[in-house]
Structure 1
């Protein structure tokens, strides 16, 4: 009797060994069944509300990776950044370990998000709502050693108040905060897999480019803050706003070269003034209504508007001088200003003429240098000053045109230089 039982046990062991060998040699014959059996065995006594920690006081370490797929939009008015990203999570679950020999050499398995323990990750600074990252349609991948990987992708919209001071050459720094929710400090610990956001597979954006990324791990290990610095691609705004605005201010300054008899000076000033006002309205619609800080380009447009207003007042005053009767006496200070300007112009013309003569006739110039009669010749044109009695109001008006053209031209160039120096060349 005892020998019969021994023989029966030996036969059972032999049959089991043959079945294992057949399963190893021909795993494809029952692959689906093996996966179903494995999934059934793993989840039989599995409680998804229990942390996968070996000891009650032990923390579950979760490795976090974060990758940007594409930047969809940055709303300067609302102060929000919208982008598509993938949040990668990895951890160890002792309950999901198996021997592949008994399951047709199945080395990994995908399990539904709502059937196993997954760290509840929330985007803390979300602008659309406070909801966990991931859905029930996504899956968690487990390997035979018990390591789990979960990588949910989502469309994130986070709060990112902008600093528009250097618009359109501005750079914005946005941060994305992820917190593991529903756990006390020390129960779940987050740690980053790398020191930056993964942007290797990011699609190109037409308006923004990523300059740098970094992260900060908050004390306690329950929250990770990812920082992303983005820079605006300013070609569109430069071509459509900055350059036309510069041409408008230069055109406004050319009103002093327009003949007073044309009667179009005031019309040109008003047209340019209204055009600058339109550009100021366009900027106000595209920029956030914030006083800290105010964009420098707004100050520049207001300065151009003020200069345009001063030019219009100067033109009106100058036309009044131009149309004064000739029998009205011109004050001495205006005559002195006109004589100084006239003398300076004549001197510059005479010096240029002498320099040109020296280049064309070098032999005569060398023979006459230093003679007294030459000095008299140099002084003669400068002494032919216009008598005070011949200076009219039209001459005073012409002199004011020259002075205003130079002064307002310098103001226009300085305004544009200061704008570029404080926004672009920083």
Structure 2
């Protein structure tokens, strides 16, 4: 019996590899079970909640979604999304303060355009009447001068001149009243302009606090859109969040669908196309399982805090200066602190011992663009020291629940950095983000040789 078992095992482990590498039909058959692509089957989606204040019907929203999915499907001529009333992925339109402000801006701009047209027409009418009045008064004064030079006018002519002067004075009063009304109208118009500017300022503040117009929640399988400024911008945002649903990360190219901020672009860039190719490439199931298992093991190990007094502590702070791409100065608890970002390293721009490194300025400028003057959260990591050898706080920066450290890696502005092999909480996530950015050749990975 043992002999039969040994022979069976030997035949299996010798014959299977032999057939796999020598017999192509068997190779093709086995590959269908070993290899898979995340793009093999389309993602089924449904329409969830639509706030009526958007004034978008379900059919119209569904068409916008289809326009967004077409951006990805046209790249590889493959069906990647399917509408299904029972689909797992839900699309929602949630009316928030940004959309309310955006609607107010549209209404105020409409009022201003109409008010400006009326005001300009009234001013033009007033100026024409003033010109006519001045000409009439000039003519009347010339008549008076003429009769005075003749030694006086006849009684009949004198009565005409008196009546004419009375009419001119009445007309002058009416023009003065009209001028006062125009001043009031101008003041009202300027007030509306001020109201619009204040609303625009509030809108910009809201956008700075919540830069993304949509959000993909992988855990809940939801894509929620919070604001729509135009048709193209809505389609862009939908396609952007669909990209996240496919597993594609942010890109630094402003022409890309996966650029972190909303634009009017509705055509995929070459970076978008390459990222989709990478996401859709065939993968070995056993290798993916092993990598995920190891990643999960790392997460479990790193979840055990080394200092419970600092585990997951978050503190609010205001960024008062961006020193470079991975170091900022903040004001917290009425005290200035220098913060070194955990897990990333950006090219040097300030180290006197070194020249400005490739992509250093771009990384520094990006940090300034996103962080300068912003209210942020600083998150501690109990696996790391509280401060480094230079006395800087070691933290993650959270902006509207987005990890800025990872955002810098996603955009190719920073490399993943593990200090002295001291594993940190987000190491696995950051390492994957760097690999994705490097393979997509974005940011420093496309510009710098090292």
Band the TM-score falls in, shorter-chain normalisation: under 0.3
Greater strand proportion:
1
TM-score by length of 2: 0.25
Larger radius of gyration: 1
Q: TM-score, normalization: structure 1? A: 0.27
